Amino acid sequence: MNRNKQQRLQKAVEAHRANIQKSLQHRLEVARARGDENLIRQLEAEFNHYN
């Protein structure tokens, strides 16, 4: 794989991870607002997986 293609792939991977983290953060905020402790624990675990 040439260097340019590798760089594009890496940027796509980083963008995908950032989008997942943003979505998880929003879902976590909603779960906290609702007081759903089980969902909060699940989302925190998933969020930590991506960090």
* pTM, entire model: 0.78
Residue-level pLDDT at 1: 62
What range does the domain containing 9 cover? 3-49
Q: pLDDT under 50 in the chain at which residues?
A: none
At CA 35, angle to CA 40 and CA 38, rounded to 5?
Answer: 35
Across all residues in the chain, what is the average pLDDT?
A: 93
CB distance 41 to 31 below 8 Å:
no
Residue-level pLDDT at 50: 80
Which residue bears the tokens 């991977």?
A: 13
Residue-level pLDDT at 7: 94
Residue-level pLDDT at 38: 98
Overall domain count for the chain: 1
